[in-house]
A and B are shown apart, each in its own frame.
Chain A
């Protein structure tokens, strides 16, 4: 297969970026999207040109490192997959593919298609954990948890923090990410103890970092490679209202 690639090139965070056109040929339909970029980079290196920088790690859809905005969709046209799980057979021969980095104020570009997603880490640092005092190992099943709650918490915890929700949202909102991280704890007894402070701190940090607000378009849910449900956003809103109205420190 052959493709016309329009790729965002940017030397560093301060430089002005531009779209560079590349023509690529002899690509197997079974080649993954990142492998296609590897082939492109090899050809660029052979010509003593700078390869296209992009984030990647596990290449099996669980690390959340890869993330490209491909032809108007975060992680490309397939649903429920990351960029590394996307294959070239999903495109037509000779198609023009425009590849852009995640674009959001809190995700500044480092180089080419690589963005700094440490904003997510900062949100997690605000409350995406439970405080546990060390001691003896607790017996398994000593805290009963219903199957339904455990499943919902597990679904929320499957968020890999790739940032596709922010990239796909017209407002660059991180509500799906924050809601998944809040839900995975608030659904479980261990997480309930700090639930009120957690939700307020994480939402406050999200706003401080410059993410947009949620307008409930649910583009985030549509593009999430782990199909995190918008139900979590409703839960986050609910938790936030309860926390704001019942915390000892009101407002």
Chain B
């Protein structure tokens, strides 16, 4: 059964190439995540999130990354279905040949990671795109500038009575803002719901961003979420333990001189990257 009339090797090369891009992104994501552990009230983490959310080069890469995730999953599913039908009658006794755990369960560990991605998107990515409500942050400087702008309009009589009252109410609200809604340096409003954004920043204020730091801390304090997170990264470790060696094999890279380097990179990814991610919920939980 052939779902797509392309050579099985070409499909594997495509799967490997899309996977390679995802591999390159992982250390970047880990680096940003580790900022959460810095004892600065989320200053670095929010700065990194702001950069990732606003930089145009990153935005282009984001599209490429999403395409890579989608194609990696689609090709993996196609290959699995085709391979399943290459043996229509299964053996009675399960295959006992010596193979690595990671290689045997690639589609399952991949499936676990894909399910987690959906959860991850609901928690963060959809919030960023305004599809789901989360927590928000806004620069006090920008809120102040917006307020001043409206205040000038009010002096010139350009605001309706309703807006005038709202502006006065905003002045009252922001002067009474509690300390948990401010970051350590008192430069940003944080941990705001959408209603609070309107309350403190004004109805028409749009320059607020998702407060990923608060959202992450809240999520990692939830033990069920953290345990799911840790299990997913065990699956990721297994997936990566086979992925890199398999990628090299598929691209025809096998030589006694550089094979040890491939094994080193594979082990690094399989052990260091998942442990790096797993440290975060463990540090926050305990």
Are the CB atoms of A203 and B9 closer together than 8 Å? Answer: yes
Q: Does A21 contact B (CB under 8 A)?
A: no
Known A204-B7, A240-B9: A216·B250 in contact at CB below 8 Å: yes
Query: A22 contacts which chain B residues (CB < 8 A)?
Result: none
Docked complex Cα distance between A217 and B249 (Å): 11
Interfacial residues of chain B within 215-263, with CB under 8 A of chain A in the complex: 242, 245-246, 248-254
Docked complex Cα distance between A6 and B242 (Å): 35
Query: A72 contacts which chain B residues (CB < 8 A)?
Result: 91, 93-97
Q: Does A185 contact B (CB under 8 A)?
A: no
Q: Does B100 contact A (CB under 8 A)?
A: yes
Question: Quick one: CB contact mask for B48-87 with A, threshold 8 Å, 1 for yes?
Answer: 0000000000000000000000000000000100110111
- Chain A nearest CB, measured from B24 CB (Å): 20
Interfacial residues of chain A within 193-251, with CB under 8 A of chain B in the complex: 203-204, 206-207, 210-219, 222-223, 230-231, 233-241, 244
Query: A204 contacts which chain B residues (CB < 8 A)?
Result: 7
Known A212-B82, A217-B100, A241-B251: A71·B93 in contact at CB below 8 Å: yes
Question: Quick one: CB contact mask for B1-19 with A, threshold 8 Å, 1 for yes?
Answer: 1100001111111000000
Which residue of B7, B92, B93, B103 is within 8 Å of A216 (Cβ)?
Answer: B103
Q: Does B98 contact A (CB under 8 A)?
A: yes
B87 and chain A: residue at smallest CB distance: A172
Count how many chain B residues have C-beta atoms less than 8 Å from C-beta atoms of the other chain: 41
- Chain A nearest CB, measured from B13 CB (Å): 7
- Chain B nearest CB, measured from A202 CB (Å): 11
Are the CB atoms of A105 and B85 closer together than 8 Å? Answer: yes
Interface of A: prevailing SS: mixed
Query: B11 contacts which chain A residues (CB < 8 A)?
Result: 213
Are the CB atoms of B86 and A217 closer together than 8 Å? Answer: no
Are the CB atoms of A214 and B8 closer together than 8 Å? Answer: yes
Are the CB atoms of B95 and A234 closer together than 8 Å? Answer: no
Are the CB atoms of B95 and A241 closer together than 8 Å? Answer: no
Query: A41 contacts which chain B residues (CB < 8 A)?
Result: none
- Chain B nearest CB, measured from A187 CB (Å): 14
Q: Does A86 contact B (CB under 8 A)?
A: no
Which residue of B12, B83, B91 is within 8 Å of A103 (Cβ)?
Answer: B91
Q: Does A120 contact B (CB under 8 A)?
A: no
Are the CB atoms of B92 and A241 closer together than 8 Å? Answer: no
Are the CB atoms of A216 and B246 closer together than 8 Å? Answer: yes
Are the CB atoms of B86 and A172 closer together than 8 Å? Answer: yes
Docked complex Cα distance between A143 and B218 (Å): 72
Are the CB atoms of B251 and A237 closer together than 8 Å? Answer: yes
Are the CB atoms of A19 and B92 closer together than 8 Å? Answer: yes
Q: Does B157 contact A (CB under 8 A)?
A: no
Which residue of B85, B86, B252 is within 8 Å of A241 (Cβ)?
Answer: B252
29 residue pairs from A and B, CB less than 8 Å apart = A69-B91, A72-B94, A74-B97, A100-B91, A103-B90, A105-B85, A105-B87, A171-B87, A173-B83, A207-B7, A212-B82, A212-B83, A213-B12, A213-B79, A214-B9, A215-B106, A215-B246, A216-B242, A218-B100, A219-B95, A233-B249, A235-B252, A235-B254, A237-B250, A237-B251, A237-B252, A238-B253, A239-B252, A241-B13
16 new A-B contacts at CB < 8 Å, known A203-B7, A210-B86, A212-B8: A19-B92, A69-B93, A74-B97, A103-B89, A104-B86, A171-B86, A206-B8, A213-B12, A213-B82, A216-B245, A218-B100, A223-B97, A234-B252, A234-B254, A237-B9, A241-B13
* Top 10 A-B pairs, shortest CB-CB distance: A238-B252, A212-B86, A234-B254, A213-B8, A171-B83, A219-B97, A72-B96, A72-B93, A212-B83, A172-B86
Binding site for A on B (CB under 8 A): 1-2, 7-13, 79, 82-83, 85-100, 103-104, 106, 242, 245-246, 248-254
